[in-house]
């Protein structure tokens, strides 16, 4: 990641296309559907920030006053030899169907999406409701984990554990899984993905939300089935019992005649 001279939230739709082609992190954010391109910025698609006026999306007054806090950030590098080399390396792009790509002149500045700056701006702000802030930060953290690491389930779990500053003892306490499972995640020295019960146990122990849990399952080639009572119980625990301890979640499973989380055989 190059060092940027400054940051901006304003990008043209053409610049957005260039970045979408070359930057998997940017694609992750847009494909998840949580951001909209409105009046030159990629902003959280939230009624607090985006209004639909007769079928046209427009920024709210609140959004216009706080653009630097709720929009994706792009670093700006002024023209230099480093910039020209970077531009040359990114000239050849795969064009979407029905679009004609041509070689462009070297620009005077180069803009590059930087999710870390977006995250830092949101974290630093104290002027809007904490529950909204936490929701948006959770989205950003999820994107961050997805593109900073190879897309394997174990590696993504490992990155989440590191983000939570987890120790082996803390992992055991919160999940009732062995330290061996913890080291599997943080070292990622194996080929087989975790079982569903392991993923659900870790998600329940750390209070992951349902979209993140489903993403982990997807990376392991798994999915919750609405026809399976055990899977429905897992989904309920993830949705409704985030603040409960693993023991309280296991009590619900035991009362329902289902297998407990944290089994050493996972």
Q: In this predicted structure, what is the pLDDT of residue 109?
A: 64
Q: In this predicted structure, what is the pLDDT of residue 250?
A: 94
Is 144 a domain residue? Answer: no
Q: In this predicted structure, what is the pLDDT of residue 265?
A: 39
Q: In this predicted structure, what is the pLDDT of residue 69?
A: 78
Considering the domain architecture, whether residues 126 and 158 belong to the same structural domain is answered as no
Query: What's the rounded Cα separation, in Å, for the pair 218 and 138?
Result: 19
Q: Which pair of tokens denotes residue 147?
A: 């593109």
Q: 30 with 110: CB under 8 angstroms?
A: no
Q: In this predicted structure, what is the pLDDT of residue 238?
A: 93
Considering the domain architecture, whether residues 108 and 153 belong to the same structural domain is answered as no
Q: In this predicted structure, what is the pLDDT of residue 78?
A: 64
pTM of the model: 0.50
* Dihedral pair phi/psi, residue 51, rounded to 5°: -115, 145
Considering the domain architecture, whether residues 36 and 109 belong to the same structural domain is answered as yes
Considering the domain architecture, whether residues 79 and 161 belong to the same structural domain is answered as no
Q: In this predicted structure, what is the pLDDT of residue 236?
A: 93
CA quadruple 218, 221, 226, 230: dihedral sign: negative
Which of 67, 100, 131 corresponds to the end of one domain? 131
Q: 176 with 262: CB under 8 angstroms?
A: yes
Is 1 a domain residue? Answer: no
Q: In this predicted structure, what is the pLDDT of residue 106?
A: 43
Query: What's the rounded Cα separation, in Å, for the pair 56 and 61?
Result: 15
* Dihedral pair phi/psi, residue 112, rounded to 5°: -140, 130
Q: 29 with 99: CB under 8 angstroms?
A: no
Q: Which pair of tokens denotes residue 208?
A: 């992951």
Considering the domain architecture, whether residues 44 and 153 belong to the same structural domain is answered as no
Q: What 3-state DSSP class applies to 71?
A: strand
**Residues 6+ positions from 106 with CB-CB distance below 8 Å:** 79, 83, 84, 87
Mean pLDDT in the chain?
79
Low-confidence ranges of the chain (pLDDT < 50): 1, 82-83, 86-107, 149, 264-266
Is 61 a domain residue? Answer: yes
Is 67 a domain residue? Answer: yes
Is 169 a domain residue? Answer: yes
pLDDT digits (tens, 9 = 90+) for 92-112: 444 444 444 443 444 456 677
Which of 105, 131, 157 corresponds to the end of one domain? 131
Residue 37 structural domain: 6-131
When divided into structural domains, the chain yields a total of 2
Is 210 a domain residue? Answer: yes
Is 58 a domain residue? Answer: yes
């Amino acid at each position: 990641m190059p060092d940027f001279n400054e940051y901006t939230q304003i990008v043209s739709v053409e610049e957005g296309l260039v970045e979408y082609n070359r930057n998997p992190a940017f694609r992750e954010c847009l494909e998840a559907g949580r951001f909209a391109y409105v009046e030159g910025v990629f902003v959280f698609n939230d009624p607090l920030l985006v209004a639909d006026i007769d079928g046209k999306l427009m920024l709210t007054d609140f959004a216009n006053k706080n653009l630097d806090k709720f929009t994706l950030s792009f670093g700006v590098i002024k023209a230099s030899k480093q910039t020209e080399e970077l531009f040359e390396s990114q000239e050849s792009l795969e064009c979407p169907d029905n679009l004609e790509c041509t070689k462009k002149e070297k620009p005077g500045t180069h803009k590059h999406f930087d999710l870390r700056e977006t995250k830092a701006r949101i974290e630093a702000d104290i002027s809007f409701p904490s529950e909204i802030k936490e929701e948006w930060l959770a989205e950003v953290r999820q994107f961050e984990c997805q593109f900073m690491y190879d897309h394997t389930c174990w590696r993504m779990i490992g990155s989440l554990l590191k983000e939570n500053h987890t120790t082996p003892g803390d992992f055991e306490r919160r999940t009732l899984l062995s330290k061996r499972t913890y080291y599997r995640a943080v070292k990622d020295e194996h080929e087989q993905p975790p079982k569903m019960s392991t993923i659900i146990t870790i998600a329940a122990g750390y209070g992951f939300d349902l979209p993140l849990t489903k993403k982990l399952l997807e990376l392991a080639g798994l999915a919750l089935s609405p026809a399976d009572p055990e899977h429905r119980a897992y989904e309920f625990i993830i949705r409704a019992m985030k603040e409960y301890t693993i023991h309280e979640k296991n009590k619900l499973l035991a009362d329902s005649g289902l297998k407990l989380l944290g089994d050493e055989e996972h």
